[in-house]
């Protein structure tokens, strides 16, 4: 499975999560991503980071609720749950309060807002658990290889850190040493950081041994054309996006955006001629990868349309408090995100014997 398809699918689900605050739809998005991850993630160390993203999302949700209780909210409310001691603040801190009245409207608004951000984090965690970072780097265009290395290293740091921490905690448990609490964290933290530093040094040595950074000699005219096309494409993409988002630019937005994308892609293609690296067994974008990416894009587009056509169902009211309802066709649209669980091949069993080639 092409790793770019997993990232497009996950980012599309995250985009869909930003279009609604309905807790039922957000919970359904989390369930869809979790089901696909459970059924299709490979048995590798970096694929075990999904649980850490779930914990991070829960922490974000709890922090958002704590801030709403302690610092208040601009949302007016009439259903008082409790009253905390309020700390008086100077006049220059008007609009900020510590303590005071906590209303149900404030907590519900904070819950909806925090759950939306938590869903976005969980969708990003799904991409980290499903897509191989090395294969993703191999699939990048040659012009983006240097940037891709930095991005891949940044994205794989957290999964590798979590895998090292789990391995060291398991080793400490086998030796009868504490692995929980402050003491266990301090004794595990130093080896984990040392392992991260050793991986960085090993990666630098491997890149240097493979001639990383070598570039081919291209004519000056090609370099100038590449820079002009790339800059023109980026300006065109920005102008076209602005035109699509404003009412006045509805006529020229889409043509300018398409022209900018074409110029940017041409610049990337010319820029890739400076890269001397080759690809061993490159990943092919097949029909299944297109269907996976299309299923996520369909969820994002349909929920964006639902947010514009039925905002009351997609954003339940807080003042006054109303019970959220599950809109039927947006919920059915979210279920389209389950398509990768049925059309992609299951992960390989590492304990299964490798079939021998016929002689």
Q: What is the mean pLDDT of residues 72-94?
A: 74
Average pLDDT of every residue of the chain: 78
Q: What is the mean pLDDT of residues 230-252?
A: 74
Query: 330 and 298 in contact (C-beta within 8 Å)?
Result: no
9, 60, 345 from 290: Cα distances, Å: 10, 33, 14
- 335 DSSP assignment: G
Domain boundaries, the chain: 3-139+282-343, 217-274
Q: What is the mean pLDDT of residues 144-159?
A: 64
144: exposed, middle or buried (Cβ count in 10 Å: 0-12, 13-18, 19+): middle
3-state secondary structure of 69: helix
pLDDT reported for residue 357: 45
150: exposed, middle or buried (Cβ count in 10 Å: 0-12, 13-18, 19+): exposed
Q: What share of the chain is helix, strand, coil (3-state, %, to 5)?
A: 70, 5, 25
pLDDT-above-90 percentage for the chain: 17
What's the CA gap between 297 and 328, in Å, rounded? Answer: 19
What's the CA gap between 24 and 287, in Å, rounded? Answer: 32
What's the CA gap between 17 and 10, in Å, rounded? Answer: 11
Nearest to 35 by CA among 354, 307, 285, 336: 336
What's the CA gap between 145 and 221, in Å, rounded? Answer: 22
Using pLDDT thresholds of 50, 70 and 90, give the confidence band for residue 304: confident
pLDDT reported for residue 184: 65
- 274 DSSP assignment: G
Q: What is the mean pLDDT of residues 265-278?
A: 69
Using pLDDT thresholds of 50, 70 and 90, give the confidence band for residue 349: low
pLDDT above 80: residue 215: no
Using pLDDT thresholds of 50, 70 and 90, give the confidence band for residue 116: very high
| Helix (H), strand (E) at residue 309 | helix 287-309
């Amino acid at each position: 499975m092409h790793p770019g398809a997993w990232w497009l699918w996950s980012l599309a689900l995250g985009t869909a999560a930003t279009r609604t605050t309905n807790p039922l739809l957000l919970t359904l998005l989390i369930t869809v991503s979790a089901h696909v991850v459970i059924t299709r993630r490979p048995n590798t160390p970096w694929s075990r980071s999904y649980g850490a993203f779930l914990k991070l999302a829960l922490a974000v949700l709890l922090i958002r609720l704590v801030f709403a209780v302690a610092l208040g909210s601009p949302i007016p409310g009439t259903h008082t749950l409790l009253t905390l001691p309020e700390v008086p603040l100077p006049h220059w801190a008007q609009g900020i309060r510590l303590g005071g009245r906590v209303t149900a409207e404030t907590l519900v608004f904070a819950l909806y807002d925090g759950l939306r951000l938590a869903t976005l984090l969980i969708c990003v965690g799904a991409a980290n658990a499903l897509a191989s970072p090395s294969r993703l780097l191999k699939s990048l265009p040659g012009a983006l290889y240097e940037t891709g290395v930095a991005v891949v290293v940044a994205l794989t740091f957290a999964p590798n850190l979590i895998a090292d921490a789990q391995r060291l905690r398991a080793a400490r448990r086998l030796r009868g040493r504490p692995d929980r609490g402050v003491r266990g964290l301090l004794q595990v933290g130093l080896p984990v950081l040392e392992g991260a530093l050793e991986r960085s040094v090993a990666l630098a040595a491997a890149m240097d041994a493979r001639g990383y950074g070598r570039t081919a000699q291209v004519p000056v005219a090609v370099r100038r054309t590449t820079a002009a096309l790339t800059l023109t494409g980026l300006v065109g993409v920005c102008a076209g996006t602005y035109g699509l988002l404003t009412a006045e630019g509805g006529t020229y937005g889409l043509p300018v955006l398409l022209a900018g994308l074409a110029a940017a892609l041409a610049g990337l293609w010319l820029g890739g001629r400076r890269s001397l690296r080759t690809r061993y067994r490159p990943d092919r974008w097949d029909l299944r990868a297109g269907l996976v990416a299309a299923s996520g894009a369909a969820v994002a587009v349909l929920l964006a349309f639902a947010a514009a056509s039925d905002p009351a169902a997609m954003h339940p009211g807080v003042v006054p408090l109303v019970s959220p309802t599950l809109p039927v066709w947006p919920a059915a649209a979210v279920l389209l995100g389950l398509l990768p669980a049925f059309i992609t091949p299951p992960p390989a069993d590492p304990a299964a014997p490798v079939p021998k080639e016929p002689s």
